[in-house]
Amino acid sequence: MRNKGIVIKIGSTIMILFLIVLLPLGIVIDRIFIQIYSTEVHQNVNNLSRKVTEYITDSPDTAVGFLNHTRLITGKQIVVFNEMGIITSKDVFEYTQNEFIDKNIFKIMKEGKHFEREYVNSEDGERFFYVGRPIIDGETFEGGILVFSSIDEIHQTMHDVRRWIFLSILVAIMLALGYTLFVSNRLSSPLIIMEKITRSIAKGDLTSKVKVNSNDEVGSLGQAINDLSMELNNFRTNRSELLANISHELRTPISYLKGYAQLINRHQYKDLEELETYSEIIEKESERLANLIQDLFELSKMEEGKIKLYLQSVDIEDVVQLAVQKVSLKAKNKGLVLLEEIKDDLPSVVSDGSRIEQIILNLLENAIYYTELGAITIKVSQIKEQIFISIKDTGAGIPEGDLPFIFDRFHRVEKSRSREMGGTGLGLAIVSQLIAQLNGKITVLSKLGVGSEFIVSLPLDLERSDS
């Protein structure tokens, strides 16, 4: 019954619209027809009275035969009286039973005027519309005629017309009702199907799809439901993968912590040097675990859009040099050279300086981790309203198959090597999210055995780029 609710609503709306149009239209047609028909009857009676008057004036000798013939053909009652007001035409019509015409009518006619009136037959109550017209020969009053037309016949004709109008409206309503049921079912059936599918999606069945057969709003809604289902499915898959990855990433440091803590607790070490080694491992894994939790927390805030940006005028050269200074010791310990190529006269950037530094630091540390020999070059330049920061290394490079996934959470090109170095697998994911928050873009170029280059583009004015 609930599914029929929308059918009833749509059907009722369409039906009401039909009735709003049909009923006033029927009334208007009825009024127009009555007006036209009444006018036509009045004109016919007037024309007939005029022609009869002209004929009697022109041919008085044959007037009686003409009147009888006219009565027979037209069905009208015609009364003729002379200049004395005496009725000269006698038939079964009640009005002709009197010898003299009505005094008031005679007076009007003698003045040469014609008129229109209504008359009710006292015998049967039949109503008539009649026209009185004087017969004047030259300037001499010869009498007059009265032409009667039954109003009841007019009303009977109008009644028949109204019946046909009513039947036409009734047929139109029946057709409209059928059309309404067809249209309302056609409009509502995809919505009912969508309701069932959305309920299936709500229960966890993300494989349900809406069949989209149109390009209108209903089809757009169906496509939106399909997109929602796909996004929810991707979210569920990503969530499962994330939980699996987090479990896997936590398991390794926790295993180290538990194992070496047990060895120390049970005094299963040979000397103080071995104890110190165990303690260093515990410290290293604790730090790694803390970094992992911190990175997860920060990445979660970024994806939810909850990080705050503190916009200010930033000297991009100072930010780059500060980041290089922070990683210089790590690079020196590995025998790597850090090269800076910063264009002169770079304008200040309206952005979040600490977030830009975080991006550069992550990319530099990533380059140091994966580079054994050679140099790491950081270039900064300006093209139009964009600042470009390039970090290029001479490391092993990234396999082509890994390039589309390097910004995914926990994705590692060399998993075991990355873990040994203390990486969480979230650095590039954080970089990607930060750059998106700053309305920037990041691209990567890499070739195995040659190295990789990460290119970051940021707007000169973040406030203006937002607007």
Domain ranges of the chain: 3-155, 206-305, 308-459
HSE, side-chain direction, 13 A CA sphere, residue 53: 24
Residue 378 has pLDDT above 90, yes or no: yes
Give the per-residue pLDDT at 444.
93
Span 23-70, pLDDT tens digits:
788 788 778 877 887 788 888 888 888 888 888 888 878 888 888 888
Residue 418 has pLDDT above 50, yes or no: no
Give the per-residue pLDDT at 377.
94
Q: Is 29 exposed, middle or buried (CB count within 10 Å of its CB: 0-12, 13-18, 19+)? A: middle
- Rounded mean pLDDT, 453-467: 82
**Among 158-162, 239-243, 273-277, the least confident range:** 239-243
- Rounded mean pLDDT, 158-180: 80
Tokens matching residue 459: 């707007």
- Determine the Cα–Cα distance for residues 95 and 105; give it in Å rounded to an integer: 13
Task: Name which CATH class applies to 206-305.
Answer: mainly alpha
Percentage of the chain modeled with pLDDT above 90: 14
- Determine the Cα–Cα distance for residues 235 and 237; give it in Å rounded to an integer: 5
Residue 396: helix, strand or coil by DSSP?
Answer: coil
Helix 272-303 and helix 427-437, axial crossing angle in degrees, nearest 10: 30
Other beta carbons within 10 angstroms of residue 69's beta carbon come to: 11
Name the superfamily (CATH) of residues 3-155: PAS domain (3.30.450.20)
- Rounded mean pLDDT, 310-315: 90
Contacts 24+ apart (CB under 8 A), 244-247: 245/409, 245/410, 245/425, 246/296, 246/410
Residue 409 has pLDDT above 80, yes or no: no
Average confidence score pLDDT of the chain: 81
Q: In what order do the strands lie in the sheet with 386-392?
A: 337-342, 375-383, 386-392, 451-459, 441-447
Torsion angle defined by CA atoms of residues 38, 44, 49 and 51, in that order, rounded to the nearest 10 degrees: 170
| H helix count then E strand count, the chain | 11, 11
- Determine the Cα–Cα distance for residues 114 and 52; give it in Å rounded to an integer: 14
Q: What is the pTM of this model?
A: 0.50
Give the per-residue pLDDT at 413.
63
Residue 192: helix, strand or coil by DSSP?
Answer: helix
- Rounded mean pLDDT, 401-426: 64
Residues paired with residue 387 on neighbouring β-strands, in sequence order? 382, 458
Span 111-163, pLDDT tens digits:
888 888 888 877 777 788 889 999 888 888 888 989 888 877 777 777 787 78
Residue 340 has pLDDT above 60, yes or no: yes
CB 212 within 8 A of CB 226: yes
Give the per-residue pLDDT at 467.
54
- Rounded mean pLDDT, 274-284: 86
Q: Which residue has the tokens 């039909």?
A: 18
Residue 396 has pLDDT above 90, yes or no: no
Give the per-residue pLDDT at 458.
93
- Determine the Cα–Cα distance for residues 202 and 348; give it in Å rounded to an integer: 50
- Rounded mean pLDDT, 229-257: 75
Task: Name which CATH class applies to 308-459.
Answer: alpha beta
